[in-house]
Amino acid sequence: MADYDSSDDFKLAHCPGPGWNDILASDDIQPPAFMAEDHARYLGSEPIDAARYYSPDFFRQEVEKMWPNVWQFAAREEDLPEAGDYVTYDNAGRSYLIVRQEDGSVRAFHNVCLHRGRKLKTDSGSAEQFVCPFHGFAWNTNGSLRTIPCRWDFKHLTDEKMQLPEATLAQWGGYIFVRDNPEGPSIEEYLSPLPEWFKRWKHEECVTVAWVGKVVNANWKITMEAFMESYHAYVTHPQLMPFTGDANAAYHVVGDHVNVNYTPFGVISPHIEQAGLPQQWIVDEFRKYNGRSADNYDPEKDNYNIQVPDGQTARQALGAAMRQTSAAMFGGDYSGVSESELLDALVYNVFPNFAPWGGFMPNIVYRWRPWPDQDKCLMEVRVIARVPEGQPRPAGVPMHLLGEDEAWSDAPELGVLGGVVDQDTENMELCHEGLKVSKNQAVELGDYQEVRIRHIHQTIDKYLAK
């Protein structure tokens, strides 16, 4: 067991050299105070039992005790903009129809015919009624019974009894959440402190501009955990090192359901840092390999060439250029926006299946869910972007589901990000295989850089203990 005399010792126990706060301090414009608060927490050093990832019994406990009681990210508002639009959301032994109502509200019904149990829908789309393709029982979009063919044969079925059962639904920031259990914390309590912190980034004003999914041969937690630390980047993603402060990253635990990793971009990784490497090199590599930002630049525009003025850092130069580009692309005033909110990986994780990036650039949003059991997972990468000022809000793009033999890099809409996720996917699938045959059945975690992984396991345990 590691021995930290105080939480201050723990905070100092990581990353020799400049930390997250030192990097922020040398920027031109400071981000909001919450990003510089240190929420580092020491949560223990015990190994994680490998069976949690592959055991059918552990998976059954998650399905029974955890999934029905958590808020699950089920859809974005732009997935169902008009009355009658619906999204099917399947997860962990349940299937929901998320439906836009005539009055603009959204409701979630269990997606099962109350005759002999056929799933009503297997896709997402628009409907005036939900007609079961087996015998034709039909429901209105508000879940009330519409027709039963040969109703004379079903005198025992009242309209009331045939109302589609409903799940609890909540909306925040353009996201729609469902929870099976009607009891439990409100979405605001559950997400706290994100509703306050994300006010600035207005995800409700963004729309989905890219959305790619792939069934991965790994447990949903292995898949999620591959996106919870930057510690792997040095070995897994060497192409990112010229502009990624992987070992300078901050890892914060801010509630039972929320944690965050802030990884600075626009600085050389401490792993490859050498005296005399020019700041201009950082900028040029960032433009090539940081998919989230560089692809949004238009080479025809004047500011495509970003030169670092003498005496400035790459972050300062990139920040200045991105303030200009963001104003040109989206409208509005970016003059007071920090470098960090324009450059960095601000990766929040809301337990158990929702990970939105913060900041002002187009934001990645991850989702993971068992597909359908402990051995496979549906992983989705969305990119949501601001709607340019004065322009009508476009519909969101639908999911591009990759085939079994397709790689993330086969999805052109992800740009260079696809190759990065391919590098991660190889790790995920081989971890799943490896843990099944592991001799000591132990997963060891770094106390600081991997604290978010320990955090989600502790949160799972709280649900399983209830």
Q: How many whole angstroms separate alpha carbon 353 and alpha carbon 238? A: 27
**Closer by beta carbon to Fe ion, 209 or else 226:** 226
| Per CB under 6 A, 86 contacts ligand FES | no
CB atoms within 10 A of CB 308: 21
Contact 321, 312 (CB under 8 A): no
- Residue 45 or 158: which CB sits closer to ligand FES? 158
The position carrying tokens 């990832």 is: 53
**Residues found in the chain:** 466
Other Cβ atoms less than 10 A from the Cβ of 38: the count is 14
> Per the structure block, which two tokens stand in for 274?
């050498």
Residue closer to Fe ion, measured from CB, 424 or 450: 424
Q: Is 288 in the site for ligand FES (CB under 6 A)?
A: no
Work out which of 118, 119, 400, 457 binds ligand FES, going by CB under 6 A: 118
Q: Which residue has the tokens 């959440």?
A: 177
Kindly tell me which of 77 and 424 has the beta carbon lying closer to Fe ion: 424
**Per the structure block, which two tokens stand in for 3?**
């021995």
Residue 424 interface partner, choices Fe ion, ligand FES, none, CB cut-off 5-8 Å depending on type: Fe ion
Q: Which does 41 bind (CB under 5 to 8 A by kind): ligand FES, Fe ion, none?
A: none
Q: What are phi and psi of 83, to 5 degrees?
A: -55, 135
In angstroms, what is the minimal distance from the CB of 227 to Fe ion? 7
Q: Which of residues 145 and 453 has its CB atom nearest to ligand FES in the complex?
A: 145
Q: Is 154 in the site for ligand FES (CB under 6 A)?
A: no
Task: Collect all residues with Cβ–Cβ distance below 8 Å to 219 and sequence separation of at least 6.
Answer: 53, 54, 370, 374, 375, 377, 432
| Interface mask toward ligand FES for 125-144; x: CB under 6 A | -------x-xxxx-------
Task: Determine the Cα–Cα distance for residues 346 and 343; give it in Å rounded to an integer.
Answer: 9
What is the total count of residues that contact Fe ion (CB under 5 A)?
A: 1
- By the rule CB under 5 A, 450 interacts with Fe ion: no
95 vs 239, beta carbon nearer Fe ion: 239
CB of 428 within 8 A of CB of 223?
yes
Q: At which residue do the structure tokens 């006010």 appear?
A: 199
Nearest to ligand FES of 157, 215 (CB atom): 157
**Least distance to Fe ion, CB of residue 289, Å:** 13
Does position 146 bind ligand FES by CB under 6 A? Answer: no
In the bound complex, what is the minimum distance in angstroms from residue 169's beta carbon to ligand FES? 24
Dist CA 5 CA 8 (whole Å): 8
How many whole angstroms separate alpha carbon 109 and alpha carbon 167? 6
Binding mask 88-117 for ligand FES (x = CB under 6 A): -------------------------x-xx-
- Shortest distance, position 113 Cβ to ligand FES, whole Å: 3
Shortest Å distance, C-beta 145 to ligand FES: 12
Name residues contacting Fe ion, limited to 368-427 (CB under 5 A).
Answer: 424
C-alpha triplet 414, 406, 374: angle, nearest 5°: 100
Residue 358: closest CA among 201, 192, 168: 201
The distance of closest approach from Cβ of residue 140 to ligand FES in the complex, given in angstroms and rounded to an integer, is 15
132 binds, among ligand FES, Fe ion, none (CB under 5 to 8 A by kind): ligand FES
Other Cβ atoms within 10 Å of 36 Cβ, number = 15
The residues pairing with 252 across neighbouring beta strands, listed in sequence order, are 260
Binding residues vs Fe ion (CB under 5 A): 424
